[in-house]
Amino acid sequence: MSDQKTAVVVSAHSADFVWRAGGAIALYASRGYRMVVVCLSFGERGESAKLWKQSGMTLEKVKTDRNDEAQRAADVLGAEVRFMDLGDYPLRVPDEALFELANLYREVRPEFILTHSFKDPYNFDHPLANHVAQEARVIAQAHGHEPQIPVIGAPGVYLFEPHQPEQCEWKPQVILDITSVWEKKYAAFKIMAAQEHLWQYYERVALQRGAQGARNSSRSGMKYGEAYQRVFPEVTEMFHE
């Protein structure tokens, strides 16, 4: 078993991990973590409008293009990416895929898991991805599931910022300083050509969270941030380390 620490990002669509967790991925990859991104779908129906406007476009061509974008973006961020091709709008996750994700958790044994918010009235694929990420975690902890494979512990789960946080009842409880890896995150943005309209939006989000992070800490040089909501309590011996 490798001594390298790992983390898993469960992304509903092939671009979600870039906008919402690209900074965390690049930051922890720079620290030597093995970062594994799981895309439940390619976002081929609902998040590829620019591609569908092209003459002669097909579903398989859209999937191929989104696969290529996500793979190149993951390479820039320092992650590996796996595609489950479960469809979008609607996303549907059979038990076989749930077990596949649980087995991945057992394989890589993540220190933490990043995924979507509990609620999102604008996109039902996102809270489903949250549910699947957490249900797979519980299965991977169950001694009766594939008992020949050791169970995992209790990796923390952090929910990245949704597009409309107030409507999703999401709160920024952890603000990650991603200033040192911002250029990598923005370079990954520019690969996601199918959703170019989001580049500036998520740059503004990063600047806002950076300002908020600097104000709530002694990080005077913090310019860019990513915010997360915790699912489970922090267990510690001291309030500040």
Per residue in 180-217, pLDDT (tens digit) is: 999 999 999 999 988 888 999 999 999 999 999 999 99
- Tell me: pLDDT of 241 over 70: no
pTM score, whole prediction: 0.96
Instruction: Catalogue all structural domains in the chain, each as residue range(s) with its CATH number.
Output: 6-230 (3.40.50.10320)
Contacts from 88-91 at CB under 8 Å and sequence distance 24+? 88/12, 88/13, 88/41, 88/42, 88/43, 88/44, 88/45, 88/46, 88/47, 88/125, 89/45, 89/46, 89/125, 90/124, 90/125, 91/12, 91/40, 91/41, 91/124, 91/125, 91/128, 91/129
Mean pLDDT for the stretch of residues 79-100: 97
Mean pLDDT for the stretch of residues 19-43: 98
Mean pLDDT for the stretch of residues 148-157: 97
User: In this predicted structure, what is the pLDDT of residue 9?
Assistant: 98
Q: What is the pLDDT of residues 43-89, one digit of tens each?
A: 999 989 889 999 999 999 999 999 999 999 999 999 999 999 999 99
Q: How far is CA 51 from the centre of its chain?
A: 23
- Tell me: pLDDT of 2 over 90: no
